[in-house]
Each structure stands twice: as C-alpha cells, then as structure tokens.
C-alpha cells in the first residue's frame, strides 16, 4: 500500500468567534439601558400571545432620543404573526425613516414558567435587524434577558449573525 500526503488537499477552515457581555442583573447596566429594558417590559405586557403564552417586549433607542417599542403579535394562522423585535424595528422604520438605532432591549416572560435565561432574538429577527445595521452603517447594541436574571449584551447584530446576507450579494 502506498501512502502519500502530497495529494491530500488542505481544506481551508474559517473560525468564527462571537463576543458577548453578561451582566448578572439589570442593576449592573447603565441607567439609560435600565430605562430601555423597563420600556421593553412595559411593552411586553401588552403582547398578544394567546397561543404561546410567551410574551416578548422590545424597545429601541434611536439616536434622536426617541424610544420605539414592540411586542409579539400572534395569529391563529401561526406564520402570520410577528415577533416583538420586528414589530419594533418596522414600527420605527415606518415612523422615523431616517432613523439610526443605537440600542435594542429585549425581555421575555412566559405565563407557563419563570424565564430566567436571557432570550435572544430568533434567526429571522436577526436578519431583519441586520438590514438596518447595514443601512445605517453603525452597529446596534442588543441587550436581551428573560423576565429576571442575567442580561446579555451584544455590541452588534453581526455578533449574533455572522456571515449576514445583505444587499451586497444582490
């Protein structure tokens, strides 16, 4: 048997690292982020979630100082509903078309169990948020938590969604 290593093609590998910050509680955050999470909590309580009983609230801090909120809106035809994060960002885009989003706070609460694990945005919401980060050419800080407990901070949507698909591919 002949063994050769010369014909083995080296597969190039890409390693992707994500950097997140974890805070033990809301009280460790800057005052303006605590306020933003408070707005997200208020929005969360108005969620329309009769099917999942999982209420999510999102609050956006715009560079102009405005705060725009959203919550999940479910539908009997399940895919017709929308997550809190996209409700918030589309609401902001519709109301302030030239906006720059500085930060987003997300919080989730379940009527079935205590949510003490930070709840990140789903994949579809990450893609939707990435669009605005590309559009405004500046990163969006994202803070997410459950109902209580730790808060995770991502400095950019790209940290949560590497290899984003954007308009440069079209």
Decide whether 122 or 148 has the Cβ nearer to Zn ion. 122
CA distance 34 to 118: 15
Task: Report the site for Zn ion in 54-113 (rule: CB under 5 A).
Answer: 83
Q: Choose between 101 and 125: whose C-beta lies nearer to Zn ion.
A: 125
**CA-closest candidate to residue 153, choices 120, 127, 131:** 120
Task: State the residue for tokens 């950097």.
Answer: 19
Angle, helix 31-44 to helix 84-95, in steps of 10 degrees: 110
Q: Which residue has the tokens 């997410």?
A: 144
Residue 74: active-site member: no
Closest approach, Cβ 83 to Zn ion, in A, equals 3
Q: Which stretch binds Zn ion (CB under 5 A): 13-21, 124-132, 146-154, 159-167?
A: 124-132
152 binds Zn ion (CB under 5 A): no
Residue numbers at the binding site for Zn ion (CB under 5 A): 83, 122, 125
């Amino acid at each position: 048997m002949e063994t050769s290593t010369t014909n083995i093609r080296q597969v190039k590998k890409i390693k992707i690292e994500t950097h997140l910050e974890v805070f033990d509680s809301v009280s460790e955050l800057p005052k303006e982020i605590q306020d933003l999470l408070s707005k997200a909590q208020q929005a969360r309580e108005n969620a329309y979630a009769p099917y999942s009983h999982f209420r999510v609230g999102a609050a956006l801090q715009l560079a102009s100082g405005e705060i725009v909120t959203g919550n999940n809106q479910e539908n009997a035809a399940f895919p017709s509903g929308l997550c809190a994060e996209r409700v918030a960002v589309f609401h902001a885009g519709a109301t302030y078309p030239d906006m720059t989003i500085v930060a987003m706070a997300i919080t989730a609460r379940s009527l079935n169990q205590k949510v003490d694990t930070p709840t990140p945005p789903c994949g579809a919401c990450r893609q939707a948020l990435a669009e605005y980060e590309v559009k405004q050419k500046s990163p969006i800080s994202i803070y997410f938590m459950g109902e209580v407990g730790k808060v995770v901070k991502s400095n950019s949507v790209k940290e949560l969604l590497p290899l984003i698909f954007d308009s440069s591919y079209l």
